[in-house]
Amino acid sequence: MENLIEFFSFSDSSVRYVALGSVLLTASSAVVGTFTFLKKKALVGDAIAHAVLPGICLAFIISGSKNPIFLITGALITGWISLVLIDFITAKSKIKEDTAIALILATFFGVGVFLLTMIQKSGNAAQSGLNSFLFGKAASLVGSDLITFSVVAIILLITVLIFFKEFTIIAFDSAYAKALGLPVKKIEYLLTTLTVLAVVIGIQSVGVVLMAAMLITPAAAARYWTHKIKFMILLAAILGGFSGLTGAYISFTAPSMPTGPWIVVVISTIAFFSFFFAPHKGIFYRLIRNYRFKTRMLKENILKVFYQIGERKNKIHTPLSTEEILTWRNFEPEILQKGLRLLIRDGYLEKDTEGFHLTGEGIEKGQRTVKLHRLWEVYLTKYMHIAPDHVHEDAETIEHILTPELEKKLEELLDYPEKDPHESEIPYR
């Protein structure tokens, strides 16, 4: 509790620099990374993160100091060149984009490590701490760094706000953007520049090795919680900022814990939680939804069998045994028993000494399923010109997903047909 109070009071200037710097770096990176993620170019962030290292080393060799402005400029130049080369190789050769990214990443990073080794062996006292750009060292942030990164973060956010509409259109459909007359290539170059800038200011915190995760992971996590791009960008920024602050706090409470890797661990944990538990898109939600749909299909198929047998015997309330149901339709016996139990529980079936029989609600539900099946068969033969003996399988699926609104439109479109292509009566209430 003492550490918690001491950290969030921000009374220590070094804590302020590290905390605010980490939040600015991660949040601004997440905003720009959202568009990179939506353009399905997640690996590009990794390529840029590794390509900025030679720029940082060259800037240090030329200037002889670790002035953040010089380092950012050098990193920006080589990062931007790497993206131009990826586009050039992809456009002018048969090499695919993922291969081009791998080539550029390996080449630039190799050159960067070579230059970094040269600097370390040069004896220049100013090079101390330069290797922290490999894995990040947020604890080394000072006041001048914070000012520089704040200015860059503000530039990133303002540019995204100004060109939000253009970035959004290009992220989802660049061909449509061209049709609207937008200068797609120039806007893509601007977005490329912002991506490079985001990587450049982020490597001080998490390093070139882990920066790609900070660029893409907040956006990937946010995508599981919303369909709206504005909320997605805001949520990505919040998740990025939260991971930056949490990583700084963990590093503060346990000095042996590096800030950068913990920032990535926190945002990765959030992302994995989103992948599994987010509503509508999470893995568990989809599993539950699929289970419910399969259960509903089973119940409707059983009710359809009851109704069809009742039609054949001219007595809808006719009791049926499990053996009679299985002779009509090939259910797995265990699955059938489960379905019958669920239908009794839901009030669609009743059981007595003679067997199972439909309740009033069961008749209504079974009749609707049969009607939708036969209406869809009529639609396929009349409008899609499919032979009557080829429409049954498709109708078996569609009957379970047609909504009441579509049911009404289908009835009106077909003018309330009396029989299906097999001359079976279509039941109306």
Residue 306's nearest CA partner among 329, 337, 338 is 329
Q: What is the pLDDT of residues 171-202, one digit of tens each?
A: 888 888 888 888 988 898 888 888 888 877 77
Q: Is the pTM of this model over 0.75?
A: yes
Residue 267's nearest CA partner among 201, 230, 231, 220 is 220
Q: What is the pLDDT of residue 364?
A: 94
Mean local confidence (pLDDT), 325-339: 92
Q: Which two tokens stand for residue 57?
A: 């080393």
Alpha-helical (H) ranges within 93-122 are 97-122
Q: What is the pLDDT of residue 138?
A: 60
What is the rounded distance in angstroms from the CA atom of residue 403 to the CA atom of residue 185?
Answer: 44
Instruction: Report domain 2-8+15-279's class.
Output: mainly alpha
Phi, psi of 425 (to 5 degrees): -70, 135
Instruction: Give the C-alpha distances (Å, rounded to integers) separating 210 from 221, 262, 274.
Output: 17, 10, 20
Instruction: Give the C-alpha distances (Å, rounded to integers) separating 281 from 22, 147, 220, 226, 273.
Output: 29, 39, 12, 9, 12
Mean local confidence (pLDDT), 60-76: 80
DSSP of 144-201: HHHHHHHHHHHHHHHHHHHTHHHHHHHHH-HHHHHHTT--HHHHHHHHHHHHHHHHHH
What is the rounded distance in angstroms from the CA atom of residue 310 to the CA atom of residue 300?
Answer: 15
Topology, domain 286-414? Arc Repressor Mutant, subunit A (1.10.10)
Of 55-69, 105-119, 257-271, least confident by mean pLDDT is: 55-69
Q: Where are the domains of the chain?
A: 2-8+15-279, 286-414
- Higher model confidence: residue 379 or residue 130? 379
